[in-house]
Structure 1
Amino acid sequence: MNDYNNKDIALQGFVNDIKTIINTARTNAVRSVDFCRVQMYWAIGQRIVEKEQQGKERAEYGTYLIKNLAKEIEPEYGSGFGERQLKFCRQFYNTYPIGNALRSQLNWSQYRIRTCCSTQRTHS
């Protein structure tokens, strides 16, 4: 009976180790995807700002770049690439213009909250 309990305990320890490996890999995969998404939105914001400003200090008033871009890409890539989201990308790049400063610990939702809060502080 004692030998049976030891085997059962050893098996449970082994199972727990495997579960830990799986859970760690899943967590790391989610973080990796989130950070790739952050980098994608930052790069989109950068391209929008560069295209809007065309080397000038500020963008020309009345350009419909974001609206037209959303019309082109939203049907293929979905609502995550609509006009509102693209404006967030531009705002995100303007808030964090140095790409190397992006932190892999933050996901897109956390950056959006920080970006919105920093914009509200500068405009109040």
Structure 2
Amino acid sequence: MLAVAREEKLPSEAKQIIKDPMVLEFLGLKRETSYYEKDLESAIITHLQDFLLEMGNGFSFVARQKRLHIEGDEFFIDLVLYNRLLQCFVIIETKTTKLTHESIGQLQMYVNYYDRTEKQSYENPTIGILLCADKNDAVVKFTLPENNKNIIASKYQLYLPTEQQLIDEVKEVKKEIEKLDQETSNT
């Protein structure tokens, strides 16, 4: 990600420029209150410049609540962006709850639609980002094909972690590294 940011190399896949987790503290959503997806989306639009900067390099806004008509059914994509570095559309679905396999399927349909009807021949495949309050990486892994590179589940945080949360996280990562080192030395 740093090499891409310093423009030393162009990204070859979405995971090189999409942050996970994203810190959306600038949205100003109160920590204590519950909110709806439309509240999250409205806050993102209100703070669009900050959101695009948090997303990473090369993003531009295309549409909000993009309406799709598919043989009589209507669907609405929360946000459509374009990334000039990756040369592709980026579909964002926001979820204020934990990620579900149904949400991944919904996003996959939107990505397929854009690839088949909107994408030009010179553009790269559409990327889908499921921006969710919480996620289970195993659910993501088993819902998507093994060779998936176009659907990304990214957790968002409305606030930076406290000092104690950072200390706990460092301790947890340290334990995982020590466990891996021990397993490697045993083999």
TM-score higher than 0.5 here? no
Larger Rg: 1
- Higher relative contact order (Cα pairs below 8 Å, separated by 6+ residues): 1
Structure that is richer in helix per residue:
1
Structure that is richer in strand per residue:
2
Question: Shorter-chain TM-score: what band?
Answer: 0.3 to 0.5
